[in-house]
Chains A and B, each alone.
Chain A
Amino acid sequence: MLSDKPVVFSAKRISKDFGAGKTLKTAVKDVSFDIYDEEFISIVGGSGCGKSVLAKIMLGLYKPTRGQFLYRDKPIKNLKAHWNEVQSVFQDPFGCFNQFFTIRSQLEDALNILKDKPSKEEVRRRVDEGLMAVNVKPEDIEGKYPFELSGGQMQRMLLARIFALRPKVLIADEATSMVDACVRANILDYLRKLKDELKMTVVFVTHDIGLANYVSDRIFIMHDGKIVNQGTPAEVLDNTTEPHTLKLLDDIPEVHKTEWIKNSHRSKKG
């Protein structure tokens, strides 16, 4: 295991409630886990299982109602300092950009979060580098607005933002759900690249267990606000009897099933 690395996120019995009284809904229930440096973690579950809420807790956008949540042994207090190190890729690439400004200006705005704000030339250079890292020529998006690009391109813009920011932790919330299979594989490769080249910790939130199996070091299976199963892909998936994991496995289209599982085993062995 990776337990010799420092702990990045540590959750001790955290819960998150929404609403109050009759409309009270607990999205995350009594969840505990540790995530170590440079790990690739997947949080897998169906719609409304609380995985996105958990992702937002890690980002500091929500505070847990109960329990203790630590980032590098400290509670998240200063959000700007937190976002300096922990960044995110959201689900809907079109919804993530403001349609009234150019993509370039929005990518450059992202660097405002950095502690030592780089100079103008430095910002330009880093955005260019970020774009190049996802195989987009900077001049291709010059003066372009979000609605002028395709979904796959937009998803890459979100990743370019991460390459430009170089955070220590990336939380990818359903980053591949809005794109087709070909782009999806691409994005997974970029996520891998981020982890390998920039030594990033990646938390990948998805409903697709095949995908999770393909890329992760460890998998958390969530159901109804709880983590019902966790461990390496082999531990979680091989000969499992846990009902929710089986349910998620059932949801993979038959055609892909053998392929996903085979691929993952090959990459793990090789």
Chain B
Amino acid sequence: MIKLLRNLLKSPMFVIGISIFVLTLLIALFGPLFYSVDTHARDILAGPYAGSSSEHLLGTDHLGRDYVSLLIAGLRSSLYVGFVAGIIATTIGVLIGLFGGFRGGWIDEVLNMFTNLFIVIPQFVILVLISSAVKDGRSLTLIGLIIGLTAWSWSARAVRAQASSLRSRDHIALARINGASTLTIVIKHVLPYLLSYVFMVFIMQVGSGILSEASISMIGLGPVDTTSLGIILNQAKDNGALADSIWIAFIPATLVVTLTVFALYLINTSMEGVFNPRLRK
């Protein structure tokens, strides 16, 4: 375990990725302690789209709200949605992949077909359809839930491949002739071998969850009761920032989304290199 961590820390990709990600987490968690994140506070004096000043580092939006406050609040929501989606997608994916891959036979065939079905259905279309159907009840958690429910198929596929290769290993056969129950075998002899994959899948799902939320919010189908990075972009778009070339309304939010997801991808890729020695240089 310590050796694994040391190997990971040797990879510059991992170090950069984890640093950025921890920074975003710290800002999201502790930012509100140092900086007001009241997204309803409007600075009437500064007015809409005020430029950068000592009071508003990144200026204000069309309602005169401080952009830094909005960004911190948005980052909190985005990470929250990412984690909700990630946990749901990973849990469903691991359960289906593990069950199918380990059991094999027709159960595996059926589950695999089901998984493939979800892979070919365009996730974003479903997301748009459900989001527009649930007009007023769209909360952050609900959006995270929908993203998770439509994104699990990739994790199921990754886990299934691993689980079915484990199925025919000798240590599983030995555990069986030791009289271990299927549940014990899965928990003690299959899951530990899959943990690294599950973790990688989770990181990936959090990243794509953040992206999906940003996209769905950008087109105005995001959560209604709060702000998020996608909603900042959506409101900037709806209130003429694009037409008036007010770039400060777009760029910071876009950068925060990009950096967060980029950091997660860096973590995922570097972990793949460490867990799968064949990919190492």
Contacts and interface: CB of A to CB of B under 8 A. Distances in A.
B103 interface: no
Contacts of B174: 88, 90, 96-97
B180 A109 contact: yes
Range, interface on chain A:
10 to 19
- Identify which of A61, A83, A91, A98 gathers the most chain B CB atoms within 10 Å of its CB: A98
Interface stretch (B73-81, B94-102, B165-173): B165-173
A113 B188 CA distance: 16
B188 A98 contact: yes
Nearest to B190: A98
A112 B176 CA distance: 11
Interface of B: 169-171, 173-180, 188-189, 192-193
Nearest to A165: B178
A101 B180 CA distance: 15
Contacts of A91: 170
Given A91-B170, A109-B175, A112-B179, 18 more contacts: A59-B177, A80-B179, A88-B174, A90-B170, A92-B170, A95-B169, A95-B170, A95-B171, A96-B170, A97-B174, A98-B171, A98-B175, A98-B188, A98-B189, A100-B188, A101-B188, A112-B178, A113-B178
Nearest to A90: B170
A81 to B, nearest CB: 10
B171 A97 contact: yes
A31 interface: no
A201 to B, nearest CB: 16
A109 B178 contact: yes
Interface string A79-93: 010010001101110
A110 interface: yes
Interface string A93-115: 00111101100000001101100
Contacts of A88: 173-174, 177
A217 B193 CA distance: 41
Nearest to A146: B171
Contact of A87 (B175, B177, B188): B177
- Identify which of A59, A61, A110 gathers the most chain B CB atoms within 10 Å of its CB: A110
A113 B170 contact: no
B179 A83 contact: yes
A61 B178 contact: no
A160 to B, nearest CB: 13
A96 B171 CA distance: 4
Contacts of A95: 169-171
B194 to A, nearest CB: 11
Contacts of A101: 188
- Identify which of B173, B180, B189 gathers the most chain A CB atoms within 10 Å of its CB: B173
A241 B129 CA distance: 75
A113 B189 contact: no
B176 A61 contact: yes
A155 B250 CA distance: 64
Nearest to A60: B177
19 contacts: A59-B177, A61-B177, A83-B178, A83-B179, A87-B177, A88-B173, A88-B177, A90-B174, A91-B170, A92-B170, A96-B170, A97-B171, A97-B174, A98-B171, A98-B175, A98-B189, A100-B193, A109-B180, A113-B178
Contacts of B193: 100
A256 B177 CA distance: 36
B177 A112 contact: no
Contacts of A112: 178-180
A88 B171 CA distance: 12
Contacts of B192: 98, 100
A112 to B, nearest CB: 5
A88 B178 CA distance: 10
B72 to A, nearest CB: 41
- What are the nearest 7 A-B pairs in CB distance? A113-B179, A95-B170, A100-B192, A90-B170, A96-B170, A83-B177, A110-B178
Contacts of B189: 98
A92 B174 CA distance: 11
A90 B168 CA distance: 12
A37 to B, nearest CB: 21
A61 B170 contact: no
Contact of B173 (A90, A100, A109, A113): A90
A110 B177 CA distance: 8
Contacts of B176: 61
A118 to B, nearest CB: 14
A88 to B, nearest CB: 6
Contacts of A98: 171, 175, 188-189, 192
A109 B171 CA distance: 13
A175 to B, nearest CB: 12
A83 B169 CA distance: 18
A88 B170 CA distance: 11
Contacts of B175: 98, 109
